Structure 1
Amino acid sequence: MAKKSTKNANYTVPGLTTEQGHGVAEILQQRLHALNDLQLTLKHAHWNVVGPNFISVHEMLDPQIEEVRGYVDELAERMATLGVPPNGLPGAIVAERTWDDYDVQRASGVEHLAALDLVYDGVITDHRDALARISDVDPITEDMLIAQVRGLELFQWFMRSHIESDSGVLENSAARTEKDAAKAVKRGRIAKKK
């Protein structure tokens, strides 16, 4: 079997040193992994949502999946432009990620939305951290990430609108894991019915 080559190019974009360009691309690799994982996680929720809000959640997730897939392509192409081959292989995602797999299977719409809210928290926080690391080096990549954060935050707001009380409190606010978030909204909804 041939050995996979991951050799970086000996160039980057004009205006950056090779070290700077490749450094930015290395930061983007983690974002690429996160967004590849996010689009798969959103598709998983899309397939496993049940209950009275099924169709609204099922259909709400499709445009998010497509948008995130576009972000993945944009990141990968930026990495290649910077002279670093992007790695979108599943094994690389699993080996290099810093988060656990999404932990909710078949569940109601609000349970998935509460869990996905935490997923978005992590992705957005890490995107903002990447922004802070590259903002002084590469304003082009910074603009790209700013636009992605804007879109991700909008999608998170869509999710939160389903799990927010009229007093502005998220039903999953005390949760630290996706399963806990799903359980919190389920408990809260059952208690309201009594």
Structure 2
Amino acid sequence: MINNVDRVGSLLQATLVELIDLAQQGKQAHWNVVGPRFLPVHQQLDTLVDDVRLGADEVAERAVAVGYRPDGRSATVAKETPLSELPAGSLADVDVVREITDRLRNVADSVRARVNQLDDLDPVTQDLLIGLTATLDKHAWMFGAQLN
């Protein structure tokens, strides 16, 4: 078992909060996107949300496996998320792509920083977050490619 459960758990908790918020914001954008690229963006958001929710589940289950109790309650996520809130109402497809790309890059950068902090703490958790970073980077690239 790992030596520093609280440190590893806090890194997993921070990741969990970001992923839950990112998934929820992805759904909010999915429901409210409008514009000429509505359908592909709408569908791409569903794929993103599915991948992020899966990642959140894996992160939470890893936290439990190492002896830490994850907290994914909406009040906790709202209080702890570093992500800015999406505007309410209809969102133009280009704005959705820009906003989601920014959030993906921010979360990927945060997770990448946690990977480095896990170097001597827990290589299994580090591996999980490396894989998650790859998924976030892929989605950031796919959304960001639409801005060029």
TM-score by length of 2: 0.95
Structure 1 residue ranges without an equivalent (≥5): 1-13, 165-194
Which residue type is aligned with residue 158 of structure 1? M
Q: How does 1:156-171 map to 2 (within 5 A)?
A: 156-164=140-148
Counterpart of 1:40 (choices 4, 16, 24) is 24
1:25/1:154 Cα in 2 relative to 1: closer, same or farther (>3 Å)? same
2:55 corresponds to 1:65: no
Q: How many Å apart are 1:104 and its aligned residue?
A: 6.0
- Between 155-164 and 103-112, the greater mean CA deviation after superposition: 103-112
Secondary structure (helix, strand or coil) at the match of 2:36 reads coil
| Structure holding more helix per residue | 2
CA contact (8 A) 2:105 2:136 kept: no
1:61/1:138 Cα in 2 relative to 1: closer, same or farther (>3 Å)? same
CA contact (8 A) 2:21 2:83 kept: no
Residue in 2 that maps onto 1:119: 103
Q: Between the two proteins, what is the percent identity of the paired residues? A: 30
CA contact (8 A) 1:25 1:79 kept: yes
Secondary structure (helix, strand or coil) at the match of 2:68 reads coil
Quote the Cα distance in structure 1 between the aligned partners of 2:48 and 2:98.
16
2:1 corresponds to 1:55: no
Q: How does 1:38-187 map to 2 (within 5 A)?
A: 38-103=22-87, 105-164=89-148
Q: How many Å apart are 1:107 and its aligned residue?
A: 2.0
RMSD: 1.2
Secondary structure (helix, strand or coil) at the match of 1:52 reads coil
1:46/1:94 Cα in 2 relative to 1: closer, same or farther (>3 Å)? same
Secondary structure (helix, strand or coil) at the match of 2:67 reads coil
Structure 2 residue ranges without an equivalent (≥5): none
CA contact (8 A) 1:34 1:123 kept: yes
- Between 121-130 and 94-103, the greater mean CA deviation after superposition: 94-103
Quote the Cα distance in structure 1 between the aligned partners of 2:68 and 2:82.
21
Q: How many Å apart are 1:129 and its aligned residue?
A: 1.2
- Off by >3 Å, runs of 4+ in structure 1: none
TM-score by length of 1: 0.73
2:27 corresponds to 1:27: no
Quote the Cα distance in structure 1 between the aligned partners of 2:89 and 2:115.
32
Quote the Cα distance in structure 1 between the aligned partners of 2:118 and 2:87.
32
Secondary structure (helix, strand or coil) at the match of 2:8 reads helix
